Amino acid sequence: MQQRRKSPFAAAPAAAKQGEGEEAPARRPGAPLSLAGLLVSIFLVALFVYNEDSAVVKAPLAALDAGAGDFPLAGASRARSAPDLHLLHEVNPRSQQQQQGGEGDEEERGHVEQVESRRKATDSDRADAAPARADKRAAPATTTTAPPSPSSGGNTSSSGAAVVAQPEPPACNLYQGWWTYDAEGSQVPLYREPECEFLTEQVTCMRNGRRDDSYQRWRWQPSSCDLPRFDAGALLERLRNKRLMFVGDSLNRNQWESMVCLVSSAIPSRDKKSLAKFVGPNGSMNVFRAAEYNATVEFYWAPFLVSSNSDDPQAHSVADRVVAWRSIAKHARHWRAAHFLVFNTYIWWLNNFQMKVLKNPRALPDKYTLVDRPVAYKEVLKTWAKWVDRHVDPDHTRVFFMGMSPNHGVPEAWGGGPGAVKCAMETQPILNHTGPLYIGTDWRLHGAAEAVLRSMRRVPVHLVDITALSEFRKDAHTSVHTLRQGKLLTAEQQADPRTYADCIHWCLPGLPDTWNHFLYAQIAAPSPPAQEASSS
């Protein structure tokens, strides 16, 4: 008959049974244990303790191997898998509202921006600010010294290092640095306003009455490297037989005008360059052609990238804006043949805290849902990213996404003096600022863009991270030296900057030339900066 097993604790003080039903002889009280019995007892106790310790240590590892990811030993979990960095950028910072970027709506947008910026300043210490924003804004870069006289501008610092969509070696971050004044004009501006016949009246600030040209003389200096010297001829050679297309809103059109002037400066013959506006699908394209190079620099109007009720390239100032966040094919089919695509979308999102979204425009074309701005923004970018990953050939086309172009509507944010009104009459950047700026930029959207770009796997997209460095350029807007509803501001309107100053768009030559200099560093520079290896 099979013998029953007893626990080690029961076996230690008693001898083994002699047979079924037969009891072991009892030990006499006070009799000492035999040496063999003592050794067996010590061995069994030690074996039991060892097994118990092994079970405590090995159980979590076994559970992790089996997929028990919620086991309470976080250290063991981190040892086996890196933390999800996406989560660090998903926390929403404080809610913000700004001036809207549609043309002809500056009066309404200025009021919205002022109200929200004041609310934002009082809320600046809320604890739910995103870590991505803290990384960008906490540590200011080096500030230059010996600023020029107030009439010509002064040196300033940029905000801290920017987190980009593709990891960059620390040796060169083009977007961390400072603005330095080039009094001699040896490096900036890269072209002259009267020399570029393609500039529109919206951006020709000197022609429209601005008296100082200091905004043209600020050069961006990265802190850990140098921007390659801009060579328009080299850029045209890189664009030979190719299409460079900007896609987005009026700020991307602002940058497109800058690029047209930059490349046309290398084409002295007027009959070898041409510009056609409001051509292509629904008049959505402007096309500059360099005949000798068989190259084009194009702009495509799509302020939300996806379909919206603001898609008319000439009549798009719609106050009640609605987007179809899953509908992109109408626009995107016109982008596929381009060799360089430069996207942006931001300013048109700032009219309201919530966006009106058509989730099913075909079945329910009149039914929309109100969605928080950052949520809608991220969903639109996910639609865009899905299209890029599915339809762009990375061996044929390079893709860039522009950071957000900031507004400057509330001088209190940078310590404006008595009587200061929006960005009007500003002649210098924000000077020697050592802390975070709170001018009203909605950094939640910036974080959403970073998260979406990081999620892309097939097609690398380089984030041209202009936001933080552009926040310091309160001096560079068109202000009252521009158009309103297609007409130049009158003297009476220029005297009323609270109503008419445009603190959204930028004078040219000016800040957008620096943005294009970043593109040049990625596209055409003989020795591309360190980012190139990680973003190409």
Q: What angle do CA 343, 479, 492 make, to 5 degrees?
A: 140
Say how far residue 262 (Cα) sits from the centre of its chain: 25
**Widest CA span in the chain:** 122
Please tell me which residue in 331, 505, 517, 535 is annotated as part of the active site: 505
505 is catalytic: yes
What six digits make up the tokens of 105?
């709506």
DSSP 135-149: HHHSS------S---
SS3 readout for 489-519: CCHHHHCCHHHHCEEEEECCCCHHHHHHHHH
Please tell me which residue in 250, 264, 307, 470 is annotated as part of the active site: 250
Strands 483-484 vs 477-479: parallel, antiparallel or unpaired: unpaired
Strand-pairing partners, residue 279, are 285
Strands 307-308 vs 322-324: parallel, antiparallel or unpaired: antiparallel
Please tell me which residue in 213, 502, 513, 535 is annotated as part of the active site: 502
Q: What angle do CA 332, 338, 290 make, to 5 degrees?
A: 135
d(CA 294, CA 241): 5
Strands 243-248 vs 295-301: parallel, antiparallel or unpaired: parallel
- Closest Cα to residue 149, out of 501, 499, 427? 427
Strands 354-357 vs 322-324: parallel, antiparallel or unpaired: parallel
Task: Specify burial of residue 514 (Cβ count, 10 A radius: 0-12, 13-18, 19+).
Answer: buried
- Closest Cα to residue 424, out of 362, 361, 501, 486? 501
271 is catalytic: no
What six digits make up the tokens of 474?
């309160």
**Would you please indicate which residues are annotated as catalytic (active-site) residues?**
250, 502, 505
